[in-house]
Amino acid sequence: MKTSLPADFSHAVEAVAIGASAGGIDALFTLLAGLQAPFRGTVITVLHLPQNHQSKLVEVFAARLGIPVEEAQPHAPVASGRVYFAPPGYHLLVEADRTFSLSCDAPVLFSRPSIDVLMESCADLYGADMAGIVLTGANQDGARGLARIGAGGGLTAVQEPQEAAHVAMPLAAIRLAAPGYVLPLAGLRSLLHTLVR
């Protein structure tokens, strides 16, 4: 487990799966800040929201960040140079043909969309050509998915728990997935920029 990036760190990936829950909006603003279009790879994000909540994530993040931000749509191709958000009330998966699919299967750890479901589907498809990042949250979602990414050779990172608004999710991911990096948001931002540059 590393707590800083080596000076010569250079590792590009095809996709980055990010999971966040309580406190996640502010964490994502910090993490994604400064990301410039066009960029290589795809950023796919699950942020826990109430199932009946009308999501404004795309509008809010596109306005604040100035990069292409979309809500993932079923059967739509996973395009490079985009930040995608899972729609509320559905599990989000990436299929073998690199298109999105949505599922109404039961919530996982009381959550739908589930970070684990997204990360596991991405790990099975992208293998070592992906990264997973778990941020602040009040449950254990994301730990199992991050472990799957690591087992497939992907890069794994977790927000430093002492900095997180809610420590439960980062701590669970550290215990189960033994991530390659545990970094504050500023370090995770540098890591993300390197991964998709």
Q: What is the average per-residue pLDDT within 162-168?
A: 96
Alpha carbon distance 126, 187 (integer Å): 24
* Model pLDDT, residue 161: 97
Which positions are annotated as active-site residues?
21, 48, 141
Residue 43 has pLDDT above 90, yes or no: yes
- Helices 143-151/115-126 angle, 10° precision: 10
CATH placement of domain 15-196: 3.40.50.180
Residue 1 has pLDDT above 90, yes or no: no
For residue 109, the 8-state DSSP code is: T
pTM of the model: 0.94
* Model pLDDT, residue 5: 67
* Residue 184: cis peptide before it, omega within 30 degrees of 0: no
190, 31 contact by CB (below 8 A): no
Q: Tens of pLDDT along 90-117?
A: 999 999 999 999 998 888 888 889 999 9
* Model pLDDT, residue 157: 97
- The secondary structure element, H or E, covering residue 58 is helix 57-65
Residue 4 has pLDDT above 90, yes or no: no
